[in-house]
Amino acid sequence: MFIIKSYKHKKDVNDLFKLRDIKTNVNMWSVLSFVVIVLIILPTLNISLKLLNETSENWPHIKEYLLIDYIINTATIVAFGGAFTMIIGTSLAWLITAFKFPMSKFFKWSLLLPLAVPPYVAGFTYHGILNYTGVIQTFLRNNTNINVNQSLFNIMNHKGAIFILTLVLYPYVFAIVRSFLAKQSADLIENSRVLGKSPMATFFKVVLPISRPAIVGGVSLVILEILNEYGLFNYFGISTFSVAIFRTWFGLSDLDSAIRLAAIVMIMVLMILLLEKLMRGRKRYSYTSSKIRPIQPIELKGIKRILATLYCSVIFGFGFLIPTIQLLHWALLTYREILNVKFLGYLYNSLRVTTIATVIIVVISILIANYARIKENILTKIYTRITILGYSIPGAVIAVAVMIFFIDIDNNTYVIRQAISHNSTRLFLSTSLVMLIFAYVIRFLGIGYNSIESGFDKIGKGYFEASRLLGMSVTKTFFKVDLPMIKPAIISGFILVFIDILKELPLTMILRTFNFHTLATKAYQYANDEMIHQAAISSLLIIFISAAMIFVLNMNMSKGGRKNVYKNK
Amino acid sequence: MYIKISNLNFKYKNADKPTILDFTFNISKGEVVSIFGQSGSGKSTILRLLAGLETPKKGTIEIDDKVMVDDNVFVLPEKRGVGMVFQDYALFPHMTVEENIKFGLTKMSKSEKKIRVDEVLNLVGMKEFKSRYPHELSGGQQQRIALARAIAPKPSLLLLDEPFSNLDADLQWKIRQDLKEILEKAGITSIFVTHDKEDSLAIADKVVVLEKGEIIKIGKANQIFKDN
Amino acid sequence: MLRLRKTNSLILLIVVLSVFLVGCTTGNTPANNVGGENSPQGENINSGEVNLFTTRHYDTDQLLFEMFEEETGIKVNVVNAGADELLERIQLEGEDTVADALITADVGRLHTAKERDLLQPVESEILFSNIPDNLRDNDDTWFGLTKRARVIVYSPDRVDPSELSTYEALTEPQWRGRIAMRTSSNIYNISLMASFIEVWGEEKSLQWAEGLKENLARDPQGNDRDQATAVASGVADVAIMNTYYIGGMLNSANEEERNVANSVEIFFPNQETDGTHINVSGIAVTKHAKNKENAIKLMEFLSGEQAQKIFAEANNEFPANPNVQWSSWLLGLGDFKEQNIDLTALGDNHSKSIMIWDRAGFK
- DSSP letters, A297-309, are PEEP-HHHHHHHH
Partner-chain residue, chosen from A20, A465, A470, that has the shortest CB–CB distance to B53 = A465
Partner-chain residue, chosen from A333, A479, A484, that has the shortest CB–CB distance to C253 = A333
Report yes or no: A26 at the B interface, CB cutoff 8 Å: no
Partner-chain residue, chosen from A5, A24, A484, that has the shortest CB–CB distance to B74 = A24
The dihedral of CA A106, A108, A109, A113: what is its sign?
positive
Question: Can you identify the CATH homologous superfamily of domain A27-48+65-568?
Answer: MetI-like (1.10.3720.10)
Question: Which positions in chain B touch A469 (Cβ < 8 Å)?
Answer: 51, 53, 77-78, 80, 82-84, 150
CB contact under 8 A, A530 and C256: no
DSSP alpha helices (H): ranges in A247-295? Answer: 255-280
CB contact under 8 A, A13 and B67: yes
Q: How many CB atoms lie within 10 A of CB C258?
A: 15
CB contact under 8 A, B64 and A6: yes
Report yes or no: C18 at the A interface, CB cutoff 8 Å: yes
**A-chain residue closest to C57, CA distance:** A525
**C-chain residue closest to A513, CA distance:** C79
CB contact under 8 A, A20 and B72: yes
Nearest-CA distance from A1 to chain B in Å? 6
Q: Is the pLDDT of residue C108 over 50?
A: yes
Residue C105 lies in a domain: yes
Q: What are all long-range contacts of A422-428, with beta carbons under 8 Å and residues at least 24 apart?
A: A422/C38, A422/C39, A423/C35, A423/C36, A423/C39, A424/C36, A425/C31, A425/C32, A425/C34, A425/C35, A425/C36, A425/C96, A426/C36, A426/C95, A426/C96, A427/C31, A427/C93, A427/C96, A427/C97, A427/C98, A428/C32
Q: Are residues C315 and C271 in the same domain?
A: no
Size of chain C, expressed as the number of residues it contains: 363
pLDDT value of residue C242: 92
pLDDT value of residue A543: 93
Identify from B82, B84, B89, B92 which residue to disrupt to test chain A contact, counting A C-beta atoms within 10 A and taking the largest count.
B92
Question: Helix-strand-coil percent breakdown of chain A, rounded to 5?
Answer: 80, 0, 20
Hey, which residues 314-373 in chain A have their CB within 8 Å of chain B? none
Range of the domain at C133: 49-147+280-325
Q: Are residues C161 and C262 in the same domain?
A: yes
CB contact under 8 A, A151 and C351: no
Write down which chains contact chain A via at least 3 CB pairs under 8 A: B, C
| pTM exceeds cut of 0.90 | no
Q: Are residues C160 and C257 in the same domain?
A: yes
Distance CA A322, CA A121 (A): 12
Residue C249 lies in a domain: yes
8-state DSSP, C276: B
ipTM of the complex: 0.87
Question: Which positions in chain C touch A253 (Cβ < 8 Å)?
Answer: 84, 112, 351
CB contact under 8 A, A333 and C254: yes
Residue C201 lies in a domain: yes
Partner-chain residue, chosen from A132, A150, A437, that has the shortest CB–CB distance to C260 = A132
Identify whether the C-beta of residue B138 lies closer than 8 Å to the C-beta of residue B129: no
Share of chain B above pLDDT 70, in %: 96
CB contact under 8 A, A9 and B103: no
Query: What is the dihedral angle through the alpha carbons of A286, A287, A293, A296, rounded to the nearest 10 degrees?
Result: -40
CB contact under 8 A, C14 and A359: yes
Residue C17 lies in a domain: no
| Assigned CATH class of B1-76+190-228 | alpha beta
Listed residue (A360, A384, A351, A346) closest to A494, CA to CA? A360
Q: What are all long-range contacts of A518-524, with beta carbons under 8 Å and residues at least 24 apart?
A: A518/A346, A518/A349, A518/A350, A518/A353, A519/A346, A519/A347, A519/A350, A520/A118, A520/A350, A521/C80, A522/A346, A523/A118, A523/A121, A524/A120, A524/A231
Distance CA C343, CA C335 (A): 19
**B-chain residue closest to A564, CA distance:** B93
Q: How many CB atoms lie within 10 A of CB A558?
A: 14
Lowest mean pLDDT among A314-323, B49-58, B165-174: B165-174
Q: Are residues C141 and C129 in the same domain?
A: yes
Q: Are residues C112 and C162 in the same domain?
A: no
Listed residue (C187, C347, C153, C192) closest to C277, CA to CA? C192
Q: Is the pLDDT of residue C352 over 80?
A: yes
pLDDT value of residue A358: 95
Residue C130 lies in a domain: yes
Identify from C38, C106, C251, C254 which residue to disrupt to test chain A contact, counting A C-beta atoms within 10 A and taking the largest count.
C254
Report yes or no: A22 at the B interface, CB cutoff 8 Å: no
Higher pLDDT, A50 or C13: A50
Hey, which residues 81-140 in chain C have their CB within 8 Å of chain A? 81-82, 84-85, 87-89, 92-98, 112
Amino acid at C135: L
Count CA atoms within 13 Å of residue C318 on its CB side.
Answer: 22
Query: What is the dihedral angle through the alpha carbons of A24, A27, A32, A33, rounded to the nearest 10 degrees?
Result: -20
pLDDT band at C29 (very low <50, low <70, confident <90, very high): very low
Q: Are residues C253 and C200 in the same domain?
A: yes
Partner-chain residue, chosen from A338, A400, A525, that has the shortest CB–CB distance to C57 = A525
Write down which chains contact chain B via at least 3 CB pairs under 8 A: A
Phi then psi for residue B68, to 5 deg, are -90, -40
CB contact under 8 A, C34 and A484: no
Nearest-CA distance from C362 to chain A in Å? 10
CB contact under 8 A, B29 and A468: no
The two beta strands, C238-242 and B32-36, are unpaired
Q: Are residues C319 and C244 in the same domain?
A: no
Identify from B76, B159, B185 which residue to disrupt to test chain A contact, counting A C-beta atoms within 10 A and taking the largest count.
B76
Q: Are residues C232 and C344 in the same domain?
A: yes
Domain locations along chain A: 27-48+65-568
Identify whether the C-beta of residue A556 lies closer than 8 Å to the C-beta of residue A492: yes
Per-residue pLDDT of chain A (569 residues; tens, 9 = 90+): 333 334 434 434 443 334 566 666 667 788 888 888 888 888 777 777 777 777 777 888 888 888 888 889 999 999 999 999 999 999 999 899 888 899 988 998 899 999 889 998 999 899 888 888 888 888 888 888 777 777 778 888 899 999 999 999 999 999 888 888 877 667 677 777 667 677 777 778 777 888 887 888 888 889 888 988 888 888 888 888 888 887 787 777 777 888 888 888 877 777 777 776 676 655 544 444 444 566 778 888 888 889 999 999 999 999 999 999 999 998 888 888 777 777 888 899 899 999 999 999 999 999 888 888 888 777 888 888 788 778 877 777 788 788 888 887 887 777 777 777 766 666 677 767 888 999 999 999 988 888 888 888 878 888 898 998 888 888 889 998 899 888 888 888 898 899 999 988 888 877 877 668 889 888 888 887 777 888 888 899 999 999 998 888 777 766 554 444 334 33
Q: Is A164 left (phi over 0), alpha (psi -120 to 50) or beta?
A: alpha
Q: Is the pLDDT of residue C57 over 60?
A: yes
Q: Are residues C254 and C156 in the same domain?
A: yes
Lowest mean pLDDT among A345-349, A434-438, B160-164, B223-227: B223-227
**B-chain residue closest to A475, CA distance:** B78
**C-chain residue closest to A422, CA distance:** C39
Question: Which positions in chain B touch A462 (Cβ < 8 Å)?
Answer: 86, 88, 90
Identify whether the C-beta of residue C180 lies closer than 8 Å to the C-beta of residue C234: no
Instruction: Dump pLDDT digits (tens) for C121-158.
Output: 999 999 999 999 888 888 899 999 998 899 999 999 99
**B-chain residue closest to A476, CA distance:** B78
Estimate to the nearest angstrom the gap between the alpha carbon of A467 and the chain centroid: 33
Question: Which positions in chain A touch C32 (Cβ < 8 Å)?
Answer: 425, 428, 431-432
pLDDT value of residue A271: 79
pLDDT value of residue A506: 80
Q: Are residues C204 and C346 in the same domain?
A: yes
Nearest-CA distance from B187 to chain A in Å? 6
Nearest-CA distance from A350 to chain C in Å? 12
CB contact under 8 A, A469 and B67: no
CB contact under 8 A, A132 and C229: yes
Domain locations along chain B: 1-76+190-228
Listed residue (A560, A568, A563) closest to A488, CA to CA? A560
Instruction: Dump pLDDT digits (tens) for B90-141.
Output: 888 888 999 999 998 888 888 889 999 998 898 888 888 988 998 888 888 8
Q: How many CB atoms lie within 10 A of CB C178?
A: 20
Amino acid at B142: Q
Question: A with C: how many residue pairs have Cβ under 8 Å apart?
Answer: 204
pLDDT value of residue A427: 66
Listed residue (C212, C202, C211) closest to C356, CA to CA? C202
Distance CA B27, CA B35 (A): 12
Q: How many CB atoms lie within 10 A of CB C59?
A: 12
Residue C5 lies in a domain: no
Question: Which positions in chain B touch A16 (Cβ < 8 Å)?
Answer: 73-75
Higher pLDDT, A464 or C19: A464
pLDDT value of residue C207: 94
Number of domains in chain C: 2
